[in-house]
Amino acid sequence: MVIDSRGRTLEPAAGAAIGCAGAHKRSFVTSPPVIRWGRSPRRPLALLRGAPAHPEQTIQPFSWGYRNPYAIRFAPQDHALRGGLFAGTDGEDERGARPTNGAPDRLELAQMNPDGTPDYHGWPDRFAFLDSTQSVFDPIGGSADDLCGPPAMPAFNQAACAAVIKAKDTPVRHVLAFPPQMPRTPLALEPADSSMAGIDFAPNSFTGGVIRKGAALVAREGDFGFSPGNGEPRKGTTFSW
């Protein structure tokens, strides 16, 4: 059984309890304690696992370092990454207390480390392959940024917003003193604000042309406009890798 952070239940393929010591274990998703940064709380998401009958006795971290793994799906048993848990993570936004521009959405593969510890995927200080302080992520200022709306700025002004964001929120500073371990890199990237809403895998009957057996199909909700478009297509669609 897989339960996402909103309490919705998903079912993996039979026997797809990855990284588990016994067949009775299954994986599910929840949030660890809040990490605070600057003017507002930050909540990094982790994937946890446990026996459904006794989660209070068996719960343990499985994979962490995600901003919000909104789309999750186990790979089927005939897949090259069988049993692996795919997670589609929405990238950071140009809004709030830590505005970030142009951060990509990511398709991640969650796997425990060989020693049984949870693997780490970089958030909150690494966005895909790059550090948060890289200039490509510098905020440009927008009405959804905390410093550009009430009460800090009662009437939005783009020039004033850009100036205050450059002075106080650039670069996108680190939350952690150092990463807990070397971050895992994502399987694939999507344009900023794509919003991956679901993951599935192409059945044999659906293969042909550019779609090969085992291709991961990602449904995108579409561009929400927090950052300028940085990829094609910008509207919601379905992609395969």
Q: Residues of the chain with pLDDT > 70: what percent?
A: 75
Per-residue pLDDT tens digits for 25-59: 333 333 333 322 233 334 457 888 888 887 778 88
Q: Is residue 7 part of a domain?
A: yes
Task: Band the pLDDT of 154: cuts 50, 70, 90.
Answer: very high
Mean local confidence (pLDDT), 182-197 = 89
Residue 122 confidence (pLDDT) above 90:
yes
pLDDT at 44: 53
Find, among 71, 59, 65, 72, the residue nearest to 46 by Cα.
Answer: 65
Output the average pLDDT for the chain: 78
pTM for the model:
0.75
Residue 150 belongs to a domain: no
114, part of any domain:
yes
Residue 78 lies in a domain: yes
- Provide CB contacts within 8 A for 115, sequence distance 6+: none
Q: What are 216's strand-pairing partners?
A: 201
Number of structural domains the chain divides into: 1
129 Cβ contact list (under 8 Å, min separation 6): 185, 186
Residue-wise over 143-157: b if at least 16 C-beta within 10 A, else e? eebbbbbeeebeeee
Give a yes or no: residue 149 inside a domain.
no
pLDDT digits (tens, 9 = 90+) for 55-91: 778 888 889 999 988 788 999 888 889 878 999 998 9
User: Is the residue at 63 inside a domain?
Assistant: yes
Q: Which residues span the domain enclosing 222? A: 2-128+174-240
Residue 142 lies in a domain: no
Considering the domain boundaries, does residue 123 fall inside one?
yes
How many whole angstroms separate alpha carbon 28 and alpha carbon 36?
24
Convert the pLDDT of each residue in 99-117 to its tens digit.
999 999 999 999 889 998 9
